[in-house]
Structure formats: C-alpha cells, structure tokens
Structure 1
Amino acid sequence: MTPAAFAGRDARAPIEDFSGETMGTSWSLHAVAPPATTMRGVEAAFDLVVAQMSQWKADSDLSRFNRAPSGRWHRVPDELAHIVEAALRIARASGGAFDVGMGRLTEAWGFGSAGPVERPPEGRAGPENRTIDFDPVIRHIRRAEGAALDLSGIAKGYAVDLAAEWLLDMGVRHFLLEVGGELRGEGVRPDGQPWWVDVEMPPTASVAPWRIALHDLSVATSGNYRRGFRADGQHYSHSFDPRTGRPIVNGVASVTVLHRSCTLADGWATALTVLGPEAAMGLADEQGLAACVITGDREYVSRAWRAMLD
C-alpha cells in the first residue's frame, strides 16, 4: 500500500498508543484514529481468551473441561472450539509435532498452573493416550484419559486476532497490535510507511535480525530460550516434543513464522520448533509457510520466506 491509501486524510494524523498486561505478559497497540472505546474493546477480547483458554484460572472453560470426565463429548464456547479445531489441523499437518493434549506433562515439568519445579520429573513419559478430539458437526470436544488441554502454544496468537478483528469491525483500518511478542499489522502508518518490526533473535545468536513490513500480516516467534529451568547443569526448555514427552534437544533456538493469521503463525512456530531445522524447513516448504529457524549462529529460511525478499 502506498501513501495514496491515506488520500483525503491528514498524513500527520496522530497514532494513539495503548498498553497493558494480559495472559501473563504485556500487550501494546498503535492505532490511527481509534474510537474512544478502544482500550475497553481490546481488553474485552483478551479477557474472553483468558476466561475460556487459561490453564491458570480454575474457573476457565479449559480448566473445567480438563476436570470433567474423559471420554465424553463436552460443549464449549465457540471461540474455544474454533481454536481447538485450528490446533488439531496443525497437529495433523505436522505429524503430531503440535500437541494440545500435553497439559499433564507441562504441569509435571513446572510450566503450568502449579508453578515451577526445581528438578525434572523422574522417568520418561508413559504411553498414555493424550488425544483431544473435535466434532465439526456438533462442535464439541472430548479428551482421552491421559490428555489435558493446553493451548499455550497458540492462544496468544488467537488473542491478537480476536482483538484485531474487533478493531477492524469498529472501522480501525491502520494499526499494529502485539501480545507477548506476537504481532499483527493492518494497513499503514499515516505517512504511508508500513508497520516495520524487527524479528526477535535469541540473545546468544550473532545473526542479524530481520526487519519486516507488517502490512496485513502477522508474525510469531517461538523462542526456546524464553522459559525453562536449569537442574544439574542442564537447561530444560518449555518446548516439548510430543514424541518423547520431554523438552526438545534439537538445537533450535527460535522459529519465526509470517502468516495472515496470527493464530496460525503462533501455532506453526510452536510446531516447527519441535521438528528441528531440516524437518521444519521441509514442512514449511510443503505447507507454503514463510518461516525462519535459528540454531546457534546458523539461519534457515523457507522458500516462501525467501520469496518475500524479492
């Protein structure tokens, strides 16, 4: 989009800034000509995601689902059903690298509502069935006995999309919205420039960060360095490999995905992190995903990512 997008408008129109906290992290919004209800509307979108999808709130729809009897179909709110359906599509396409049924594992390793642990749990994960099912006709979900729903690998991206769609419905066409490092940019700045953002790089990497123009585009980064703990001289990541039931040890430091949907960018960044660099690039090319993987000081980019440079 060019400055002509603002034809008939003041190119010096102010950008209003908003910020706050949600989902255990911070959020920010830069918007051109937003309505007076912007703060309230954006926070309402975030509050809905927390009320439905938080594993830290005992009265959330997700927590109630995890406490309900396994093996039975349960009706859940439309938003929760939608995000479970999207997550299961990524799970199937990634060969199980994305698994929203690992809630018991993440709790046992100290990454859930029970809080951190000082040492990793003993033994390896058992063969329990962690399946989460979705029925597209009745839009109900159910879980296997060994499963507990955990949407931490996709919920932030969905929160961005939900708030962004509210802004668009309110007539706000130009904004940059961020929740905990997941971003969505719509339209352009008043001077016609896109919303420029730098891709977050691991703190130990010497790779120069990419600068991306978020024009009707989202970006999400899964950083293996962000959360974890050390025990006996070893670092344990918060990123789990569903195939082993343990934190990943594939050398991936971060994965960044660009997508129109912040929900899918978030979920796919999580899945590609688990796969490792070569398999991640193969799947990204197969799915047409613009993805960048950082391992140490080495960078891998997909065909769709390279195409965006042309």
Structure 2
Amino acid sequence: MGTTWSARIAGGAPGLAAAVQEALDGVVAQMSHWEAGSNLGRFNASDPGRWQPLPPAFETVLRAALDVASASGGAFDPAMGALADLWGFGPAGPRPFPDDAAVGAALAVSGARHIEQDGRRARRLAPAALDFSGIAKGYGVDAVAERLLGLGQRDFLIEVGGELRGEGIKPDGQPWWVDLEPVPGAVLAPMRVALHGLSIATSGDYRRAFVHAGKSYAHTLDPRTGRPLDNGVASVTVLHPHCMLADAWATALTVLGPAGMALAESQRLAAHMVVRTETGVTEHLSPALEALLS
C-alpha cells in the first residue's frame, strides 16, 4: 500500500508480527492497484460485461464501497482509477496536466455506475478501473484486528498509514488514547479520543498534492467533476467501529464539504471537519462526535 504499519499489543505472544504482515499481504494481493497481478488488477483488465469471481475480502470491500458511494450521492466512488491515473495519483506516477478533453474522457468511463456486483461476483459495464485507495487501507486495519482477535489477543492498537483501531485497554488499565491529527498551521484546540472498540481515519489536503502554475492540487478527486477537490476542506476525521468505513466516510465527507455534516448526522457518524477560510479555519463537529467527547 506504499505505507507502514505498527502494532501495540498488550501481552503479545511471539510470532504476532508475522501474523500481522500476513494479514496485510493478503489485502495487498487482493486490492492493490499497484500490483498488476492482484485481484483488483486482474478485474480492471477483464473484458467489460464478463462476470468475475471475487475472493471474500474483495467482495466485502467492494460492497462497502458501493454502499458508501450510494449513501453519499457519489461523493465517494471506488471506480475512479482512470481519473487517478490521469491526475498523476495512480501507479504510473506524475503525468502532464490534463486538459478538459482528457478529464471528460476519463470521467466518462469512471464511476460506480459502471460496476455491477452480484454477491461473490462482479463485472465492469465499461472500461472503468477500480481504485480502493480510499477504503483498502482502513480494511487492512480491520483485517489485522480480526486476525489478532482470532489469535486470542484482546488488547491492542493497530495503525496502518495513520489509520487506527483500538481494542481493549492498555496494561495500565487506560484506553488507547489517540490525538486527532492536527492540520498544519491551523490554531485549534487539541482533541483526544479513546479507541476502545473504535477506529479513526483522517483525510487531509496536506497529505499529498502537486503544484501546477502556482496552484496546489490535492490528491482527493471529486467523482462528480473528475477534478481535484477545491472546496476549502483541510481535513476530515471519522470515528467508526470499522476502520474500513471510517476511511471511506472520511473521503466522502471531504468531498461534500460543510454541507456533508448533515449527512454525517443522519448517518450517525462521529465526524470532525476543518475548513479553510479567508481569515483562518472553521471547525465542525457532528452530534455523534460531540456525544463521544462529552
């Protein structure tokens, strides 16, 4: 996934590091868009219209991704591979700045509307390319957590690329306390949460971007326009029992901007959003997060 992982396990037994790596290797083998031989790579190379069998983890992630895509009105979309490549965020790396025609062409073959799933099989209805960058890392955290729980471990904190999930407590009886990732340069009160059966994921415009003609373009793409997001959202953090869903919803709310906080409320998501303004930043907390912090 192009990142690192860490695990803090209370009373951990020998061999757990290998078990964690094995779980993550399984996620990469199924869902990496950087590996042409992954299940995702083979799906993206399949003939449109031909049903493809899905391994269990792939099925789970695709179903969750399509559900969030529907619930968010397309603000999250797992079939944006062509656009990610066009803007230089895919496996091929940086590319020339695209013109309107190139964006339009990539947008026409992108989107969840081109993906059909029927249980343990799925197919492309056009040359759309799946890209699980907005959900697979979170699923990796969940996969590791479930592996550890299956091995009898009950108290641990798992982190993959900054996304975390905590179970149980630390040896001193305290929960796994985690500080929300601060936005660089923003003057905001620090916020700390206890990950006791909870996960946390953050999407931020400062994490990955490129500069063209003096303007910075964030790596988050708006599936509705096919272009990098430009709505002033600096970061969104979501807490959820499943890191996979925290990851996906953090991306969806980032795209939706402040108006998305109403959706966070209706979905009962514990969400925190920081938006850049002409005078600094504004901070938005969903009712579920306020209740969690009270």
Contact 2:82–2:109 (CA under 8 A) maintained in structure 1: no
Map 1:1-310 to 2 at 5 A: 23-117=1-95, 119-123=96-100, 124-126=103-105, 128-130=108-110, 131-136=114-119, 139-277=120-258, 279-296=259-276, 297-310=281-294
Same amino acid, percent of matched pairs: 56
Instruction: Identify the structure with the greater helix proportion.
Output: 2
Q: Secondary structure in 2 aligned to 1:158?
A: helix
Tell me the TM-score normalised to structure 1 length.
0.89
* Matched residue, 1:5: none
Cα distance in 1 between the residues matched to 2:61 and 2:262: 25
* Matched residue, 1:8: none
Aligned-residue offset at 1:142: 1.1
Contiguous gaps of at least 5 residues in structure 2: none
Aligned-residue offset at 1:293: 0.5
Aligned-residue offset at 1:129: 4.2
Contiguous gaps of at least 5 residues in structure 1: 1-22
Contact 2:209–2:216 (CA under 8 A) maintained in structure 1: yes
CA displacement 1:74-93 (0-9 Å, x = unmatched): 11211111100010010010
Runs of 4+ in 1 over 6 A off after TM superposition: none
Cα distance in 1 between the residues matched to 2:66 and 2:128: 14
Cα distance in 2 between the residues matched to 1:61 and 1:195: 34
Count of paired positions: 284
Aligned-residue offset at 1:33: 1.3
Contact 2:163–2:243 (CA under 8 A) maintained in structure 1: yes
The alignment yields a C-alpha RMSD, in angstroms, of 1.1
* Matched residue, 1:17: none
Q: Secondary structure in 2 aligned to 1:276?
A: helix
Q: Secondary structure in 2 aligned to 1:98?
A: coil
Aligned-residue offset at 1:208: 2.5
Aligned-residue offset at 1:125: 2.3
Contact 2:156–2:168 (CA under 8 A) maintained in structure 1: yes
